[in-house]
Structure 1
Amino acid sequence: MMSARLHSVEEATNQAYEIFLEMAPDNLSEEDIELFNEHREEAGFIEDSEPDESWAAFVEYEIEPEAFVQVLVGLEVDEQDVLFAKILISRDIDAPFCHVVWLRGQQ
């Protein structure tokens, strides 16, 4: 059996951030985009981790922790995290997959 060819966690995280930037104008309010753009240099963060349990509600198959990365994109403002998106991205080079849950601007 061939093992999957995987992107590094860093590569997958960078891809997730690129997807976030590309999709943000269609999924966040203008206020949120202004807030993010104004503060991302000094207060922005991109945090990667193992996917948490919440993805079961969005994805119909089992998520193997070593094949996926969960990425949070946000700002740390006044010692409080303002999350804009939670992203599940595949590290498998041959099976690209990405799902974004937008956490703001959904009014």
Structure 2
Amino acid sequence: MSARLSSIEEATQQAYDIFLELAGDNLTAEDVELFDSQSEEFGFIEDSVPDDSWHMLVAYDQEAEAEHFIQVSVGLEVAQGDVIFAKILISRDLDAPFCHIVWKQ
């Protein structure tokens, strides 16, 4: 039986919703203010194939589970370079929810 997968767009939106819910507890007040004031004009939410760093942080097998997970980056595009506030690994498998966030330090 194959897994029931959400669309990439649905998983990306879910990751962003989780980011918004937890940002105040995991980012500095200055970073929250910066994101809130600049996200309308310069914010981005970018989905991609999970990078190699996840296998060192969580039990993630890129070869076996690549279709079931996406990586979502949330940040701002600014003149000095992108500011990434969170990198999120989220499951697309509706029967096996999972999310792990690496926050900006």
Task: Determine if the TM-score, normalized by the shorter chain, exceeds 0.5.
Answer: yes
Where 1:85 maps in the other structure, the secondary structure is strand
Code of the aligned partner of 2:94:
I
Distance (Å, rounded) in 1 between the aligned partners of 2:77 and 2:9: 21
Determine if the alignment matches structure 1 residue 100 to structure 2 residue 96.
no
| CA displacement at 1:72 relative to structure 2 | 0.3
- Corresponding residue for residue 90 of structure 1: 91
Unaligned 5+ runs, structure 1: none
Maintained 8 Å contact 2:54/2:60: no
* Identity of matched residues, %: 67
Where 2:36 maps in the other structure, the secondary structure is helix
- Corresponding residue for residue 49 of structure 1: 48
How big is the alpha-carbon RMSD for the aligned residues of Structure 1 and Structure 2? 1.0
Determine if the alignment matches structure 1 residue 30 to structure 2 residue 46.
no
- Corresponding residue for residue 61 of structure 2: 62
Code of the aligned partner of 2:82:
D
Distance (Å, rounded) in 1 between the aligned partners of 2:91 and 2:2: 14
Distance (Å, rounded) in 1 between the aligned partners of 2:81 and 2:95: 38
Q: 1:61 to 1:69 in 2, by over 3 A?
A: closer
Distance (Å, rounded) in 2 between the aligned partners of 1:9 and 1:76: 22
| CA displacement at 1:38 relative to structure 2 | 0.3
| CA displacement at 1:58 relative to structure 2 | 1.0
Q: Which shifted more, 9-18 or 55-64?
A: 55-64
User: Which ranges of 4 or more aligned residues in structure 1 deviate by more than 6 Å?
Assistant: none
Where 2:14 maps in the other structure, the secondary structure is helix
- TM-score normalized by the length of structure 2: 0.94
Distance (Å, rounded) in 1 between the aligned partners of 2:58 and 2:81: 29
